[in-house]
Amino acid sequence: MIDCADHLGAMRAAAPLVHCVTNFVAMEPTANALLAAGAAPAMAHAVEEAGDFATVAAAVSINIGTPSPRWAEGMAAAAGAAAARGAPWVLDPVAVYASPWRGELAARLLALKPTAVRGNASEVLALAGGASAGRGPDAGDAVAAAEDAARRLARATGGVVAVTGPEDFVTDGRRDLRVSGGDKLMTRVTALGCALSAMVGAFLATGRPPLEATAAALAYYGLAGARAAREASGPGSFAPLFLDALAGLDPAADAGALAAAVREGA
């Protein structure tokens, strides 16, 4: 059993600074999700300083959603600075299949060996070199179709790969975990996957084993999503209720529900 509540408590106690080089769309939702969870965000992407931010942050999250050539240099600087000091960092390969240039950028970042990759099924399939049915940033493939790709990618980087969707799949190439939770409404509000990647960074910052820390972050996020959906009347009311649920989840009271969300194996 993975003690997700212990991971959540440790993350909140550390209140880790997560430096995010992320996309225009995701900046505010990501910063708000981190703050609601009890972590601290920084968003800065200029190549002149992204490495400086990454040097003081407890974790780094790199998201290629709306790149430009200079922005890409900021991503490489931040990822490189995290990798150089052994700090955890997460790669979110948004729409990596959408253009050859985006594919090259993702490959360049992947070569810096992210502690975790978090993407949807189409992104993970494409990042591993396969065909995918993604459209814009949205998945067109089932999570199950990306499991082998995720394992191969994890073995190649030595890190963790998380494929998210209706049920999340997390692997380090040897051990597989599945995480249930969430709600379909989460696909009707933009950038919640992007914010989740930064949340994985916050949990990795505790220094706990990356596979388990990633699963704990997904379980926490999914439980908050399911709770918010119970109260929401649509995507508009879901968004603030989700922040409240992230803030309100309690390691003691919710330990059972968090642990029940994660299962090992097939």
Ligand X SMILES: Nc1ncnc2c1ncn2[C@@H]1O[C@H](COP(=O)(O)OP(=O)(O)OP(=O)(O)O)[C@@H](O)[C@H]1O
Q: Which residues define the annotated binding site?
A: 43, 118, 164, 191
Ramachandran category for residue 81: left, alpha or beta (phi over 0 → left; psi -120 to 50 → alpha)? alpha
* 254: CB partners within 8 A, 6+ apart: 5, 223
* Tokens encoding 90: 């997460």
Residue of 32, 55, 66, 237 interacting with ligand Cc1ncsc1CCO (CB under 6 A):
66
Residue of 38, 41, 51, 65 interacting with ligand Cc1ncsc1CCO (CB under 6 A):
65
| CA 175 centroid distance within chain | 19
Q: Where are the beta strands (DSSP E) in 98-216?
A: 116-120, 160-164, 168-171, 176-179
Interaction site with Mg ion (CB under 5 A): 94, 193
* Tokens encoding 237: 């009311």
> Residue number with the shortest CB distance to ligand Cc1ncsc1CCO?
65
Binding residues for substrate: 43, 191
Site for ligand X in 127-156 (CB under 6 A): 137, 139
| Binding status of residue 220 toward ligand X by CB under 6 A | no
**Cβ-based nearer residue to ligand X, 57 or 228:** 228
Burial of 69 (0-12, 13-18, 19+ CB in 10 A): exposed
| Binding status of residue 194 toward ligand X by CB under 6 A | yes
| Binding status of residue 164 toward ligand X by CB under 6 A | yes
**Cβ-based nearer residue to ligand X, 187 or 237:** 187
Residue identified by tokens 């390969």 is 93
| Binding status of residue 193 toward ligand X by CB under 6 A | yes
Minimum CB separation of residue 86 from ligand X in Å reads: 27
Please work out the total of residues on this chain that contact ligand X, with binding judged by CB under 6 A: 25
d(CA 177, CA 167): 10
> Residue number with the shortest CB distance to ligand X?
193
Listing from the earlier edge strand, what are the strands of the sheet with 17-21?
40-43, 17-21, 59-63, 89-92, 116-120, 160-164, 168-171, 176-179, 262-264
Q: Which residues bind ligand X (CB under 6 A)?
A: 94, 119-120, 137, 139, 164-166, 168, 181-184, 186-187, 190-194, 196, 218, 221-222, 225
Q: Which residues bind ligand Cc1ncsc1CCO (CB under 6 A)?
A: 23, 25-26, 65-66, 94, 137, 190-191, 194
